[in-house]
Amino acid sequence: MRWLVTGGAGFIGSNFVRLVLKERPEIDLLNFDALTYAGNLDNLADVRDLPRYKFQRGRIQDRAAVELALADGADVIVNFAAESHVDRSIVDSAPFIDTNVLGTQVLLDAARRAKVGRFLHVSTDEVYGSLGKEGYFTETTPISPNSPYSASKAASDLLVHAAVHTFGDAAVITRCSNNYGPYQFPEKLLPLMISNALEGKPLPVYGDGQQIRDWIHVEDHCRAILAAAERGRPGQVYNIGGHAERANLDVVREILRQLGQPDSLIKFVKDRPGHDRRYAIDSRKIETELGWTRKWNFEDGLADTIRWYQEHTKWWQRIKDGTYQAFYDQWYGGR
Ligand code: NAD
Ligand code: TYD
């Protein structure tokens, strides 16, 4: 079997590539990634020499590059490639439209021409918008995205839906809640707070810190994507959640507690414009239909993740010292 994984050099993609290579010996995998600021081949240093693994640099919106990646055909495409950070989409939405919207359409069209057997589109619970105190997102919750990031992901989901409806493409969409775990770029809440705490720097909490996210370990997400890619019904959406709703401030305090750092490092900063208040996922469909279950609870997963960042300081220090610093200064400098 031959699988094409896009965005495999990013956080979730690299965890997925490693999982597939380890647990599916029958799969040859081509990782197609543009290596944007978020793509990092160091994330796959331990598997890059495997004969079943290949890498091609390219952008999913580049038709010729995608056709080259599909020249030998593919049984399955798993599409992780995206601009993924809400705050960056507020600063500049252009790359989000380019990659997430245009790129998804180019990939869908190329997959159809190459007669790819299955297209798994990795999406987010953020397409559903924000919840009040009660309730959960289900697969039938109306799409109502609030940020340029989530709107671009919602647009890509609709393009996938249209490809299924119009052309009968065998595409499946997964929508997952907030991931955490090894190799997450330190612009997202958990790795930013862990690495800042390790450096004794202030921890910037937006607004009152009472926004709620449903945290899932990246390994659980990757196993759910694998199940949906192998056994999901074409045309279906599957929600994936961590069953671990936490307020941001509680998560940040727990990180400081585990690292033995004082709460005085917390710095309340100006809120993110349009900040979604609460996300929570009902994942019963993928549990009952595909038999997926979570392995991690949040407390163990957080402790394990903190340990990983303590043991991989060079990995995140290189990122934080590089071009990421310019975004950090621009975004947090004025808050
Ligand atoms: P990430 O930002 O860590 O990685 C994105 C990867 O895509 C990088 O390797 C980057 O180089 C690559 N990429 C970007 N633009 C590209 C392009 N035009 N062509 C080819 N490659 C390109 O993101 P992540 O957190 O690993 O998220 C992966 C996917 O999962 C995204 O589609 C995201 O929307 C979705 N998702 C993320 C979360 C989360 O909590 N991180 C939750 C639900 C869904
Ligand atoms: P983030 O990791 O950016 O994921 P998303 O916005 O996609 O949910 O943010 C998670 C939560 O943490 C979100 O409510 C915003 C908040 N947050 C902060 O309070 N401070 C920060 O510096 C960052 C990056 C996020």
Specify the ligand 1 atom closest to the Cα of 183. 3
Specify the ligand 1 atom closest to the Cα of 12. 26
Spatial distance between the Cα atoms of 35 and 263, rounded to a whole number of angstroms? 36
Extents of the domains making up the chain: 2-179+215-240
Q: Give the C-alpha distances (Å, rounded to integers) separating 6 from 59, 119, 229.
A: 9, 11, 14
For helices 248-258 and 298-311, angle between their N-to-C axes, nearest 10 degrees: 50
For 41, how many CA atoms within 13 A lie in the half-sphere containing its CB?
12
pLDDT score, position 323: 78
Name the catalytic one among 28, 33, 83, 126: 126
Rounded to two decimals, the pTM is: 0.98
Name the catalytic one among 28, 33, 125, 214: 125
CA of 13 from ligand 1 middle (Å) equals: 7
Q: Does domain 2-179+215-240 have CATH number 3.10.450.50?
A: no
CA of 38 from ligand 2 middle (Å) equals: 16
Q: Who lines ligand 2 at CB under 6 A?
A: 86, 126, 178, 188-189, 192, 204-206, 211, 213, 248, 272
CA of 79 from ligand 1 middle (Å) equals: 9
| Ligand 2 pocket, mutate which of 88, 150, 213 (most atoms under 8 A from CB) | 213
- CA 317 from chain centre, in angstroms, equals 21
pLDDT score, position 13: 98
- pLDDT one-digit tens code per residue, 228-258: 999 999 999 999 999 999 999 999 999 999 9
With a pLDDT cut of 90, the percent of the chain lying above it is 96
pLDDT score, position 324: 78
Tell me, yes or no, if 126 is annotated catalytic. yes
**pLDDT band at residue 335 under the 50/70/90 scheme:** confident
